[in-house]
């Protein structure tokens, strides 16, 4: 996740960036520091890609509200988190569709909750780590099409390759569930990614890699309900 931290006081912008990196993980987040609103506006003008903006409201040059209005001209969807010592300015923030307000000094628990909600909003892609030929392989969970039970192993079918692991199918399901809520069991041997489903009926499902998998009669109703729920939530 790429986050802009905008504050005209160096001590505050470095403190916020440090807290974000420590809470989220330095390998999973990059913080870009800006000393005033005009600097971050120039980044948008130059086409720099950001996932979220932490924006101080009270700044000497271009204040946070003015910067937010300009940011909205470039990107109407990017989450803007205002940081301020004056919470009475929160009402004005709704004009620019503020995602959240954090009072200074920043409370670690509130920041943690904000980052978690940002992750949900942005659907940050989690990673699944498997072993093959003695090496650890890292995949995006969104690239996993399905998991298939195979004797005492599980075959993980990704977009470009499959990886077989010696493990219980129940353990594979648990591992996937810890990373995403978007899988459903369609059969005692198959756990499929709803984002890769092209067509579903009471006996089979067509995945977007052109494979057709069996659907157990006992699982058909729940699979259909989960797919409808996913489509509504994902806006597909």
Q: What angle do CA 62, 63, 67 make, to 5 degrees?
A: 75
Residue 98 lies in a domain: yes
CA atoms within 13 A on the CB side of 131: 7
Task: Indicate the pTM of the whole model.
Answer: 0.56
What does the buried/exposed string (b/e) look like for 173-207 if buried means 16 or more CB atoms within 10 Å of the residue's CB? bebbeebbebbbbbbebbbbbbbbbeebeeeebeb
> For a pLDDT cut of 70, what percent of the chain falls above it?
92
* CATH number of the domain that residue 63 is part of: 3.40.50.2300
pLDDT at 92: 61
Range of the domain at 89: 2-122
> Pick from 101, 122, 143: which residue ends a domain?
122
* Other CB atoms within 10 Å distance of the CB of residue 32: 16
CB 33 within 8 A of CB 39: no
User: Do 39 and 97 fall within a single domain?
Assistant: yes
User: Do 118 and 149 fall within a single domain?
Assistant: no
User: Do 114 and 169 fall within a single domain?
Assistant: no
Residue 230 lies in a domain: yes
User: Do 107 and 136 fall within a single domain?
Assistant: no
Among the ranges given (1-15, 24-38, 51-65, 78-92), the one the predictor scored with the smallest mean pLDDT: 78-92
User: Do 151 and 104 fall within a single domain?
Assistant: no
Domain count, the chain: 2
> pLDDT tens digit string along 182-223?
999 999 999 999 999 999 999 999 999 999 999 999 999 999
User: Do 55 and 96 fall within a single domain?
Assistant: yes
User: Do 6 and 118 fall within a single domain?
Assistant: yes
User: Do 114 and 183 fall within a single domain?
Assistant: no
pLDDT at 89: 58
pLDDT at residue 86 is higher than 70: no
Q: Which one has a higher pLDDT value, 41 or 231?
A: 41
Residue 211 lies in a domain: yes
Residue 200 lies in a domain: yes
Q: What angle do CA 64, 65, 69 make, to 5 degrees?
A: 115
pLDDT at 46: 92
pLDDT at 122: 79
User: Do 152 and 171 fall within a single domain?
Assistant: yes
């Amino acid at each position: 996740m790429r986050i802009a931290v905008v504050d005209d006081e160096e001590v505050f912008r470095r403190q916020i960036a440090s807290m974000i990196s420590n809470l989220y993980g330095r390998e999973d987040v990059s913080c870009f520091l800006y000393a005033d609103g005009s600097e971050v506006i120039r980044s948008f003008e130059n086409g720099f890609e950001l996932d979220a903006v932490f924006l101080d409201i009270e700044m000497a040059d271009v204040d946070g509200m003015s910067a937010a209005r300009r940011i909205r001209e470039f990107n109407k969807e990017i989450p803007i988190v205002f940081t301020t010592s004056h919470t009475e300015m929160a009402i004005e923030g709704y004009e620019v569709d503020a995602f959240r307000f954090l009072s200074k000094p920043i409370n670690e628990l509130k920041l943690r909750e904000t980052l978690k909600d940002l992750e949900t909003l942005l659907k940050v892609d989690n990673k699944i780590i498997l072993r093959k030929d003695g090496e650890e392989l890292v995949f995006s969970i969104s690239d996993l099409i399905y998991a298939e039970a195979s004797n005492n192993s599980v075959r993980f079918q990704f977009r470009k390759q499959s990886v077989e692991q010696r493990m219980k199918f129940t353990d594979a399901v648990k591992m996937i569930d810890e990373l995403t809520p978007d899988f459903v069991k369609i059969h005692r041997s198959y756990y499929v990614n709803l984002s890769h489903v092209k067509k579903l009926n009471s006996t089979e499902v067509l995945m977007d890699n052109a494979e057709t998998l069996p659907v157990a009669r006992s699982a058909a109703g729940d699979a259909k309900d989960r797919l409808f729920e996913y489509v509504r939530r994902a806006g597909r």
